[in-house]
A = this chain, B = another copy of it.
Amino acid sequence: MNLSFIPDSTLLMGPGPSPVQTSVLSAMAQPTIGHLDSQCFSLMTEIKEMLQELFQTKNSLTLPLSGPGSAGMEACVTNLVEPNEKVIVCINGVFGQRISECVRKVGGEVVELHSHWGRPTDPEILRKTLAEHSDITSLCFVHGETSTGVLNDAQTLCSIANEFNILTIVDAVTSLGGVEVKVDEWKIDAIFSGSQKCLSCPPGLSPISLSERAVAKINQRKSTIPSWFLDLSMISEYWDISSRTYHHTAPVNALYGLHQGLSNVLKEGSQKLFTRHGECYEVLASGLHSMGMELLVDKESRLPQLTTVKIPEHVDDQLFRRLLLERYNIEIGGGIGELAGKVWRIGLMGNGARKEHVTCLLDAMSSILVR
C-alpha cells in the first residue's frame, strides 16, 4: 500500500489530541456503511447509551455532534441563547473567553465574570453577581480550563445557578473521562465535550447532552435558531430512535472510532480511569517539584489531566519544546492567550495517562534543562 502521507508518530503529552489506542484506529479503518443503514442506527444507539453512562445522565438528547468541541460549544450556545438575552460567562482562561465571544456572535449580551488565569471561579462572587442582575437567563463556564489547568467546581457553580433558576451551559471538553462529570446530579442543562482528550479518540466529534429543561427552552424560542447545521431540533430527529429523519451525512468512520473509544473507557470503568489520571498527575507534579519547577495552579484546583508548569527563568520556551520533540519525540503544549511564553501545558489524558509516559517526559525535560 502506497500511502501518500506517513506521519512520524509522536508521544502526545500536550493539551490534546491525546494518544489514540490502536483499537480505535483499527475501528476507524473498517469499511464505511451508509448513514441511514440499520447497522449505523444500531451503532448510533450504542454510542448514545455509552455517552449517557459517561455523562451520568438520562437525557434523551445525548449524542456526538459531527464537528470538533467548538461545534459543540456553538450548538449549545446558538440553540439556548436568543438574541438580546443576557448570559453570565465565567472567564479564567482562553476557553471561557471563547464562550463569551460565541454568545456575542449569536446576539446574546454577556456579563463576564473574570477570575485570575490559574485560579478557579469563586462561587461567592458568582452568587453576588447573579444577585445584581435579575435578567440573566444562563450561566456558562468551563469545567476543566485547558488553557490553565484549572478545574472549576462545576457542582457548586451549577447549584448556585439553580438557586437563581437559570440554565447552565458547561464546557467539559477536557474534563469528561478524566474527572467526575455528573450531568443529572449537578443539574447541568447543556454540556459539550470533545473526542480527542480523555476519550482518546481522534479529534472531530463533540459529545453533547441537553436536559429536558434545555430542550423545552429550545422548543419555546421566540426567534429562529440562526444555524441549519447545528439546529438541535433537527439533529435530534436524526438521533431519535423513533424518527431517524435524515439531517446530514454522519461521519460514519469517526463514529466507529468513538464507539470503540467509549467501549474502552467503560470497560476500564470510570472510577479506575479517574484514579489512573490522579495517580499519574501525582507522579508528574512530584517530579516537576523535584526539578525545582513551580506549578501555575494551587493544589486544590488542579485538573489532573492537564498540568501547567511555569517556564523556568532563562529557559527558551520554543527551543525547549523543539528539543523535546526532535530528540525525545515528545509533544507538550505551550501557553496560550495571556499565558503564552509563560507556561508549558502537560497533558495526561485518557490513554496518555500512563506512569511510563510521565517518567519518559521527566527524564527528557531534566536532560534538556541540565545542559
Q: Does A129 contact B (CB under 8 A)?
A: no
Residue contact A225 to B105, C-beta cutoff 8 Å? yes
Of residues 183 through 211 on chain A, the ones whose CB sits less than 8 Å from some CB of chain B are: 194, 196, 202-204
Q: Does A111 contact B (CB under 8 A)?
A: no
| Complex CA distance for A246 and B203, rounded to whole angstroms | 14
| Complex CA distance for A2 and B31, rounded to whole angstroms | 16
| Complex CA distance for A265 and B337, rounded to whole angstroms | 40
- Residue in contact with A30 in the complex, picked from B16, B25, B32, B225, CB distance below 8 Å: B25
Number of interface residues of A (CB under 8 A): 79
Number of copies: 2
Instruction: Type the 1/0 row for A1-34, where 1 means its CB is closer than 8 Å to any CB of B.
Output: 1111111111010101101101101111111111
- Residue in contact with A34 in the complex, picked from B12, B30, B33, B78, CB distance below 8 Å: B12
- Residues in B neighbouring A106, C-beta threshold 8 A: 226-227
Q: Does A303 contact B (CB under 8 A)?
A: no
Residue contact B17 to A25, C-beta cutoff 8 Å? no
- Residues in B neighbouring A202, C-beta threshold 8 A: 32, 251-254
- Residues in B neighbouring A14, C-beta threshold 8 A: 34
| Complex CA distance for A206 and B73, rounded to whole angstroms | 20
Q: Does A365 contact B (CB under 8 A)?
A: no
Of residues 79 through 120 on chain A, the ones whose CB sits less than 8 Å from some CB of chain B are: 98, 101-102, 104-107
Q: Does A260 contact B (CB under 8 A)?
A: yes
- Residues in B neighbouring A17, C-beta threshold 8 A: 32-35, 249, 252
- Residues in B neighbouring A252, C-beta threshold 8 A: 17, 202-203
CB distance from A18 to the nearest CB of B (A): 8
| Complex CA distance for A20 and B30, rounded to whole angstroms | 10
Instruction: Type the 1/0 row for A38-74, where 1 means its CB is closer than 8 Å to any CB of B.
Output: 0110010010000000000000000000111111011
- Residues in B neighbouring A250, C-beta threshold 8 A: 68, 203
- Residues in B neighbouring A127, C-beta threshold 8 A: none
| Complex CA distance for A339 and B240, rounded to whole angstroms | 24
Q: Does A244 contact B (CB under 8 A)?
A: no
Q: Does A160 contact B (CB under 8 A)?
A: no
A28 touching B29 in the complex, CB below 8 Å, given contacts A5-B260, A34-B331? yes
Which of A12, A34, A71 is packed against the most chain B CB atoms within 10 Å? Answer: A34
Q: Does A320 contact B (CB under 8 A)?
A: no
Residue contact A228 to B68, C-beta cutoff 8 Å? no
A–B pairs, 6, beta carbons within 8 Å: A3-B23, A3-B260, A5-B46, A8-B39, A71-B71, A102-B228
